[in-house]
Amino acid sequence: MFQIFNDISHQCSKLTTERYSTSFSSAIKLLHIDIRGPIYDLYGFVRFADEIVDTFHDYDKEKLLSSFKKETYEAIESGISLNPILQSFQITVNKFLIDPALIESFFNSMEMDLGNKQYDSEGYDKYIYGSAEVVGLMCLYVFCDGDKVMYEKLKPGAQSLGAAFQKVNFLRDLKADHEQLNRTYFPGVNFKNFTENDKREIEKDISEDLKNAYSSILLLPAKARFGVYLAYKYYLTLFKKIKKAQPQMLLQQRVRISNSYKAVILVKAGLRSSFNVL
């Protein structure tokens, strides 16, 4: 009967991923079946924490996040939680021996979102690391499955990919972050006067992250490579669309990739993979 509870917990994380992100869901489905579940578990955990700080405006966010953090560590230590998202997360953390320091850094960034509205360069780097790079590193623990040499080799690329995804998200969500959450992540940028030069500097940084990430994607284990490559292609396509947009347009509407075009990306990526020309 306990296995039923675990199965339900994993299913909750999978459902959370599917409902919140069609792009990541599509990419995860292209991972080897052995590692799909653990990646769903990681995403479900990250998504719930993010929801606390981003959408639960009518509730005590600080108290909710503090409780969630406490319950997370208790679940990992005891190996059980009645919260199915935390149950599935602790199973994956304990199975793959994910470094607790990564989880702590993630919570540090979530806590920063509770108070910080503007970031200097140091705070920005710290936030990016905790909110995005460590998520890439948690996934890398799963992909490497105990191979410490491979993990250390691919670690910089995983961080770059996580950082690129987050920074693209920041540009995509400028309107919501600026108007609804009153947040300014990019240091030194005044969004009341968001210039083309400001945008180009941000895009230059993202381009470097994507370049660094790509070389590491090619070195991933076969069971992970195509799924990660597809996520990379989704974000690269979104980034290219954002680059074509005027700065003020990003403050007026959210740039999206249609589901039909995501299907095109999938087919093209599949063809490249079949000919081994990623």
Question: What is the number of structural domains in the chain?
Answer: 1
Residue 228 is which amino acid?
V
pLDDT tens figures, 136-175: 999 999 999 999 999 999 999 999 999 999 999 999 988 8
Report the CATH number that the domain containing residue 12 is assigned in CATH: 1.10.600.10
d(CA 254, CA 192): 17
Q: How confident is the model at residue 7 (pLDDT cuts 50, 70, 90)?
A: very high
Write down the pLDDT at residue 182: 78
- In this prediction the pTM is 0.92
Q: How confident is the model at residue 191 (pLDDT cuts 50, 70, 90)?
A: confident
Write down the pLDDT at residue 270: 67
Question: What DSSP assignment string belongs to 55-117?
Answer: H-TTS-HHHHHHHHHHHHHHHHHHT--SSHHHHHHHHHHHHHT--HHHHHHHHHHHHHHHH-S
Write down the pLDDT at residue 26: 86
Q: How confident is the model at residue 179 (pLDDT cuts 50, 70, 90)?
A: confident
Quote the domain boundaries for residue 200.
Answer: 2-183+190-274
pLDDT tens figures, 252-273: 888 888 878 877 887 776 666 5
